A and B are shown apart, each in its own frame.
Chain A
Amino acid sequence: MKNLRMKSARAAKDMSQQKLAEIVNVSRQTISAVEKGDYNPTINLCIAICKALDKTLDELFWIE
């Protein structure tokens, strides 16, 4: 399932996938895979992404 909330949070901060990848210390393709829903990140990566985008885990990764 695509993670559109993460994509929109990143776009709201005017941040490219490459920039976010550099902040959380992963490859750009990994950020792309998380947004597309092709890869389930570990809790450590989820937390790093949330910190970089100033969001909570619930806001970005909780599925209703």
Chain B
Amino acid sequence: MDTMKITFIIVCAAIAIFILLIKKYSMDDSNRYDERQVAMRSKAYKFGFGTVLAYNVLYYLATAIFFEKPLMQDGIAPMVGVCLGLVVFAIECIRNDAFFSIRQNPWVYMLLCLIVVLSNGYVSFQNIRDGLLIKDGLMTESCLQPIITVTFLIIIIAIIVKLIFSREEEE
């Protein structure tokens, strides 16, 4: 069996374990969302999904009509769409106080986001310094780290802004 097949099997196994962990975690009562949060999250999911669809249509129309060539290497364009959808979903959830479950500690989540931002930010800095972002006029896979950094940075900023405003409006 070659390396690619082994990698594929490992990735599938990792995804299966991840799904099982999420399922176990979501069944725990302390990680429950209340009825208003569930309604708001489903609305936010709709917006996020719509954003991904709109992005895909616009990207492929733009590349076909205006640029007549792809702007990014294979596999990068869908990832940009996923990040865009994630940002829209997260901001809509945060705006409606539906991002964190009832007893979830936002600071723990923010710490995890900060680790993602710092680790990807460091690699982004190296990629920018080495000029790896664009090759032959196409955005390369090295663009993913800056995109992920910006995505999680936006989420962190949105959470902080919301926490400040919630404290002000409390009672």
Contacts and interface: CB of A to CB of B under 8 A. Distances in A.
Contact of B35 (A16, A29, A41): A41
Interface of A: 16-17, 21, 25-30, 32-33, 39, 41-42, 44-45
A17 B170 CA distance: 9
Nearest to B169: A32
Interface of B: 32, 34-37, 97, 102, 166, 169-171
Contact of B102 (A16, A27, A32): A27
Given A17-B171, A25-B102, 14 more contacts: A16-B171, A26-B34, A26-B35, A27-B34, A27-B37, A27-B97, A30-B35, A30-B36, A33-B36, A39-B36, A41-B35, A41-B36, A42-B35, A45-B34
B97 A29 contact: yes
A36 to B, nearest CB: 10
21 contacts: A16-B171, A17-B170, A25-B32, A25-B34, A25-B102, A26-B35, A26-B102, A27-B34, A27-B36, A27-B97, A27-B102, A28-B170, A29-B36, A29-B97, A29-B166, A30-B35, A30-B97, A32-B169, A39-B36, A41-B36, A45-B35
Which 4 residue pairs across A and B have the least CB separation, nearest first? A29-B97, A26-B34, A30-B36, A39-B36
A30 B171 contact: no
A41 B35 CA distance: 8
Nearest to B101: A27
Question: Taking chain A's interface residues, is the majority helix, strand, or loop, or is none over half, making it mixed?
Answer: helix
Contacts of A21: 102
A32 B32 CA distance: 18
Contacts of A32: 169
A33 B169 CA distance: 12
A25 to B, nearest CB: 7
A20 B119 CA distance: 41
Contacts of A17: 170-171
A26 B171 contact: no
